[in-house]
Amino acid sequence: MTEEKALDVTSSKDCQNKISDVKVFGNPDTWQLICKASSKEQGWMKSTKVMEIAGRGCLVQVSTQQGEHVAEALVFVPMASVLTTSDGAKTIR
């Protein structure tokens, strides 16, 4: 039997705490979460993640899930970098 997807996972540590059989290869935190919103009741999730490529720029990934339907967009932003704000949030500059 398959469990419901955990739409509110925000980090690899959170994933390991919420999903008992998760398997990880490599660095699961290569992508950094910028923002995320989800509703378990309504079955949707939207997130924006960034991966910095030192000295080159950033890959930005936007994900939207509604039920079993998933849409992804990926863009490279030259010379951008990840900035961590004073409250620990991530942004791109």
DSSP 3-19: PPP-TT--SHHHHHHH-
DSSP code for 23: -
Q: What is the pLDDT of residue 76?
A: 98
Rounded Cα–Cα distance for residues 76 and 56 (Å): 10
pTM, two decimals, is: 0.80
d(CA 7, CA 39): 7
CA–CA gap between residue 74 and residue 57 (Å, rounded): 13
Q: Are 76 and 92 in contact (CB under 8 A)?
A: no
Residue 88, pLDDT above cutoff 80:
yes
Tens of pLDDT, residues 33-80? 999 999 999 999 999 999 999 999 999 999 999 999 999 999 999 999
